[in-house]
Amino acid sequence: MAQTATVAVIRANAIWAGGPEAKTHYGCDLVVEDGIVARIEDEYKGRVDIEIDATGCLVVPGLVNCHTHARCTPHARGVSKDLDIPDAGAFYHGLIPVLGLAYTELSQKEFAAVMEWDVRSMLLGGATMIVEDNFGGADISMQLVERLGFRANLRLTYPGNVAGGLTAELKLHDE
């Protein structure tokens, strides 16, 4: 017996369809069949297994957070707001001493919790792919990818970078 595809419909005020000919559709429904975008319709009237009311929201494709250091944001966010940034500098230059505290002051369990908080923040912000430049905790990152089901490109970076880099790419869901 053939299985019927699960149909999810997102009813939104605006849907942005990216790509070479990006367009914003207003007052339309996004129809997703078995996790794949099937179409955008003015008023979808077909079978619905899952309906999401996105009234007042903009629906966009999954975003790629292309340069992250998960576990740096929570303890650096407040400090960076108080820094005087030199004209030729970047906000993180003043944070480098603070960023290292996670490795020396947190237990493995605390470190994992901070990384998960940071990754969940990225996912809630719309990222579905995270490129992680990892100074430490790559094993935790891989566990998060497996447990939370997002796509990631994980690699060691300076000072953990050995002979040009080690890249581990995990894709849990087919594109």
Mean of pLDDT over the chain: 76
Residue-wise pLDDT for 76-87, tens only, equals 666 666 767 667
Report pLDDT for 24.
93
CB-CB contact of 70 with 130 (8 Å): yes
Answer yes or no: do 55 and 102 share one domain.
no
Tell me how many domains the chain contains: 2
Whether residue 137 is found in the same domain as residue 123: yes
Distance of alpha carbon 163 from alpha carbon 159, whole angstroms:
11
Mean pLDDT calculated for residue range 85-105: 69
Q: Is the domain of 109 the same as that of 57?
A: no
Eight-state DSSP code of residue 168? E
In a shared domain, residues 150 and 87: yes
Domain that holds residue 148: 64-170
DSSP category for residue 58: E
Q: How many CB atoms lie within 10 A of CB 68?
A: 19
Q: Residue 118 CB: number of other CB atoms within 10 A?
A: 22
Question: What is residue 174's predicted lDDT score, i.e. its pLDDT?
Answer: 40
Together in a domain, 13 and 86: no
pLDDT at 162: 41
Q: Which residue has the tokens 């009237």?
A: 45
State whether 123 and 149 are in the same domain: yes
Confidence band of 3 (pLDDT split at 50, 70, 90): low
pLDDT at 112 over 80: yes
pTM for this one? 0.57
Q: Would residue 1 count as lying in a domain?
A: no
In the numeric block, which tokens belong to residue 98? 């603070």
Per-residue pLDDT, 77? 65
In terms of domains, do 158 and 101 share one?
Answer: yes
Antiparallel, parallel or unpaired: β 29-33 and 36-41: antiparallel
pLDDT above 90: residue 154: no
156 and 93: one domain?
yes
Percent of the chain with pLDDT over 70: 62
Shared-domain flag, residues 70 and 34: no
Which pLDDT score, from 0 to 100, does residue 135 have? 64
pLDDT of residue 69 exceeding 50: yes
Buried b (16+ CB within 10 A) or exposed e, 135-152: bbbbebbbebbeeeebbb
Residues 33 and 78 in one domain: no
- Are 82 and 111 found together in one domain? yes
Look at residue 2 in the predicted model and tell me its pLDDT.
Answer: 57
Euclidean distance between CA atoms 148 and 137, whole angstroms: 16
CA separation for the pair 62, 112 (Å, rounded): 25
